[in-house]
Amino acid sequence: MRASQSMTSADPTQHTIAIVGGGLAGLHAAWQLQQRGIAFELFEARSRWGGRILSTPESGIDLGPTWFWPAFQPRMSKLLEMLQLPSFAQYTEGSSLLEHWNGQIARYDGPLMADTSLRIAGGCARLIQRLVDHLPSERLHLNATVESISIGAEGISITVPAASTLPYRQVWLAIPPRLIPAIHFAPALAPATVNALKAIPTWMAAHAKYVALYDKPFWREQRLNGDAFSHVGPLAEIHDASQSGYAALFGFFRIPHGERASYGEHALKAACRAQLARLFGPQALAPEQDHLQDWAQEPHTATTRDHANGHEHGIASLANVFPTPWQACLRLIGSEAGSDQAGYMEGALHDIDTLLNSA
């Protein structure tokens, strides 16, 4: 494994901070450390970067997060500006639809969302790729699930499959708090710490998205903006997902995780196409391609607890969650640990100087 060779052959004095998790939080922290000349290694369990951020290849339609709100999310706005990534407003021209229990479809003027929602041009995965492009590849390790973290005489060691790393001064955990107890800690985390971590829901972990791409945004020709709420389903909330050069609709499922699994992907996609046709017309039955992304089935995002209550934000206080001896060497930097806007992309953008000053 190339990554482990570079991990074990590097100068130990260069190993300052180990970052666990290569989603937005981990990559953003790595980029800030890189800018300050502070050495790090980043370990990501999946075979791709981005965590909950995922866009369709080429078309860049988002299968994870879609929007940010500059009115109250200044860090996202600033980051996109620094990385020179353009954004654009969610399409809102025309009427929205409401599908009632009895099957009647009502039309309302205007969009369903009150605040101006912005999208990253080319999809949120562009933000991830831009961060990766700014980082030294030899410090980034994919397929590297951190299995254990232990305190030794020389510092903190972590193990990933088929490799153990040189000691670090600190470990920054950029993963959902509920996934932390799956890591073996030596000495063990206190039961109260484990319970506190498990109590934090992972935002959107129970959800699934359906995306359908078309040759043109035909709903706009009917003065429909693509917004729809439904009491019938299978999708509860639908929006225009079009990007420059690509016409698309997306929806969040109203069918809960357990039921989704029993339907299977083929049947779910067919039911989604039928619903879009009821709402927007028969052209919706024949997308050029469609995608289903079920986050509840992703073990590096969701736990069984999230299946039960993944609809809440991780707003419980995590201050002082790690008592001695871990207090000095572990930091929580994922979105759920955000000081504000926890659960959102904004929550994943931690102030690095605060983290370093607490080191």
Ligand X SMILES: Cc1cc2nc3c(=O)[nH]c(=O)nc-3n(C[C@H](O)[C@H](O)[C@H](O)COP(=O)(O)OP(=O)(O)OC[C@H]3O[C@@H](n4cnc5c(N)ncnc54)[C@H](O)[C@@H]3O)c2cc1C
b/e for 159-181, b at 16 or more Cβ within 10 A?
Answer: bbeebebbbbebbbbbbbbbbbe
> Who contacts 224 (Cβ-Cβ below 8 Å, separation ≥6)?
94, 95, 96, 97, 107, 280
- In whole angstroms, the minimum distance from the beta carbon of 338 to ligand X comes to 8
Nearer to ligand X, 60 or 347 (CB): 347
Tokens of 143: 């397929």
- Residues making contact with ligand X (CB under 6 A): 20-26, 43-46, 51-53, 64-68, 145-146, 174-176, 179, 183, 203-204, 207, 209, 295, 300-301, 334-335, 343-348
> In the bound complex, what is the minimum distance in angstroms from residue 219's beta carbon to ligand X?
21
- Which is closer to ligand X, CB of 207 or CB of 260? 207
Alpha helices in 83-152 (DSSP H): 125-133
Residues 2, 298: Cα–Cα separation, whole Å: 26
Complex with ligand X: residue 70 or 155, whichever CB lies closer: 70
Q: Which is nearer to ligand X, 134 or 216 (CB)?
A: 134
* Nearest distance in Å: CB 251, ligand X: 11
- How many degrees, rounded to 5, is the angle at CA 27 between CA 158 and CA 336? 80
Rounded Cα gap, residues 180 and 199, in angstroms? 12
Residue 36 near residue 352 (C-beta atoms within 8 A): yes
Closest CB to ligand X among residues 62, 221: 62
71 or 106: CB nearest ligand X: 71
* Length of the chain as a residue count: 359
Q: Measured from the CB of residue 100, what is the shortest distance to ligand X in angstroms?
A: 25
Q: How far is the CB of 298 from ligand X (least distance, A)?
A: 8
> CB 142 → ligand X: shortest distance, Å?
9
Q: State the pairing for strand pair 330-332/170-173.
A: parallel
